[in-house]
Amino acid sequence: MIKINFYLRYKMDISNIILSFSTEESSAFKSYLRAKNKRLDSKNIDLYTLLRKETPITTIDTILYGKPNRNAYHALSKRLQDSLIDFIATQSFETETSEDMQVYKWILAARIFYEQNQYKPAKKLLSRAIKKAQELDLYTALIEIYHTQLQYNYLDPKTSLQNLTEDAQENMRRFIQQENLNMAYAHIKSRLSFDEELLKTDIQTMIEKTLAAFNIEVDRHFTFKSLHQLLEIINRAAHLDHNFTGALPFITKTYQLVKAKNTVLTKHRFYHIQILYVMANAHFRVRDFSKAQEYLAQMSEEMAAEKGKFKARFSQNYLLIHSFVLNYIGKGQQAISEIEQYIRTHKKTVTDPDVVLALIVFITQQEDYKKALTTVNTLRHTDTWYEERMGIDWLIKKELLTLIIYKELEYIDLVHATLRRFRRKYVGIIKTEPRLEAFIKVFTQIFNNLNIVEEERFRESVKNLFSSSDQQEDILMLSFFAWIKAKLDKKPLYETTLALL
C-alpha cells in the first residue's frame, strides 16, 4: 500500500507538467525523446502518451509490459522524469534566457579581450552589456560588469573612477534590496501558509511590518520578478482576510511600476500574464467589473502572443475570472455555458477545482439544485486533499454551497450531518469570522423552522446581514447571504444576488 501511494504522488507530480504542455510542446517533447532513445524498444514515449491520456496509475504497468511490473515501471518513470527536466531546461535556455545569456557572453568575451590587451573591444562589449543589463534589471550581471570595469579601470584614464564606484554601489544597493525582498517574501509566504493564528490578526499590517523589517521600499528599481512577488503576496493576503478594498491601492501602485517597465514586458510575458490575472481578480473582488474586463482583455492578448505559447497554461485562470464577471453582471447562463463548453472540449485536461466551484455557484444561483449537486459530486477528492491544495477558505465555501443544495433538495439527514460536521471541524474559524458565524446561525434557524422567515422579529434581526454598501464584503460570502434574503423576500436567488451588489 505504501508503494501504491508513492506511485500515486509521483504520477500526479509528473502528470501535472505533462498535461500543461500545449500541442506544440507535446510534439516537441516526443521528438526530443525519439532523438534521445538509443533502443528501438524504449517505452518512454508510450508512458508519456499514457500519462497524457490520464490513464489510471494502477493499470499503466500492465498496459506497458503485458503484466504487472512495478519495478520496471518505476525505473521507466524515473528516466522519463529526467528527460522531462532536461527538455524543460533546454527549452528555457533557448527561449526565456537568450538575452540574459547574451549579456554574460559579452562579459566573458570582454574579460578575454582585456587579458589579451585588446582594450577597445573589451570596453565596447562592457558598454553594450551594461545597457542591456540595465534594461532587463539584471543586477547580478551588473555586479560582474562593474567588477570587471573596476579591475581594469587603470587602463582607461578617461573613465571617472568616482562615477564608476558610485554606479557600482548604487547597483549593489538595488541588488541587496532585491535579495531582501526575496527573504521577506519567504517569511511572509511561510506565515501565510503555516501560521493558523494569523487569520485572527491584521494580515496587511503583518506584511507591511515584514517589508519594513527588511528595509524594503517599493520603487521603480524593483525587478519585474520582484514586483510579481509583491503582487502575489498582497493578493494572497487579500484572499485570506477578504479585504481586496484595503489591498487595491497597494496592488495598483505596484502595477504602475510594472507598466513602466515596457522594455521587459515581452521578455517576462509569463509573469506579466500572472500579474494581469491578479489585477483582473482584484477589481472583480471590489466589484469594478468593467476594469476587471479591461485587464482580462489584456490577459487574453498576452496569452495569444508567441503563437499562443502560454494559452494552455493560463486558459483556466482566464476562464475563472471571465465567468465570474459574466455571472455578476447579469449573464449567469452565459457564464455556465462557457465553463461547460470548456470542460466538454478539454476532456483530457483536469478542470481546476476553482472553476468547478464557480460553476456550482452559478448553477445554484439559477436554482437548478439537482444539477448543482451533480456538479459537486464531480469533486471526488477528500477534504484533506482540497484543503492542502486549494486552502481552507475554498473548502468552507464548498461546504456552505453543499449545505444550501441539500437544504433546497430537502435532504434532511444530509443537512444535519453536514452541519454538525462543519461546526465541529471549523469551530475555531467560525469564532473568528463573524460573517461566517452569522450565516451558520441564520441557516440553522431557517433549517429548523422554515416558517421563521415570516416572523417580524427574525426578519428585523437579520436585516444588517444584507448591507450592499460594504465593498470589503467578499463577493462569494455576499452570495451566501443572498440565499437568506431570497428566502425572506420570496424572490429568485439570482435576482436577489445581483440586487445586493
Between 343 and 471, the more confident residue is 343
| Mean pLDDT along residues 61-78 | 87
Between 372 and 42, the more confident residue is 372
Cell 439570482 belongs to 494
Q: How far is CA 110 from CA 97, 121, 149, in A?
A: 20, 7, 10
Residue 381's pLDDT is what? 86
Residue 26's pLDDT is what? 84
Q: What is the pLDDT of residues 81-125, one digit of tens each?
A: 888 888 877 776 555 456 778 888 899 999 998 888 888 889 999
Per-residue confidence at 2, pLDDT binned at 50, 70, 90? very low
Q: What is the pLDDT of residues 347-375, one digit of tens each?
A: 878 899 999 999 999 999 999 999 999 99
Residue 9's pLDDT is what? 38
Q: Are 350 and 54 in contact (CB under 8 A)?
A: yes
Residue 58's pLDDT is what? 80
Per-residue confidence at 127, pLDDT binned at 50, 70, 90? very high
Q: What is the pLDDT of residues 384-422, one digit of tens each?
A: 888 888 888 899 999 999 999 999 999 999 999 999 999
Q: What is the DSSP letter of 352?
A: P
Q: Is residue 1 pLDDT above 50, yes or no?
A: no
- Please give the radius of gyration of the chain, using alpha carbons only, rounded to the nearest integer: 28
Residue 172's pLDDT is what? 93
Query: What mean pLDDT is reported for the chain?
Result: 84
**Which residues, at least 6 apart from 401, have a Cβ–Cβ distance to it below 8 Å?**
357, 360, 361, 364, 372, 376
Lowest mean pLDDT among 36-40, 260-264, 295-299, 387-391: 260-264
| Mean pLDDT along residues 231-257 | 79
Residue 356's pLDDT is what? 96
Q: What is the largest CA-CA distance in the chain?
A: 95
Around Cβ 13, how many Cβ atoms within 10 Å? 10
Residue 291's pLDDT is what? 95
Q: What are the cell numbers at 336?
A: 455556465
Q: What is the pLDDT of residues 140-195, one digit of tens each?
A: 999 999 999 999 988 888 888 999 999 999 999 889 888 888 888 888 777 766 66
Enumerate the domain spans of the chain.
2-95, 98-159, 373-501
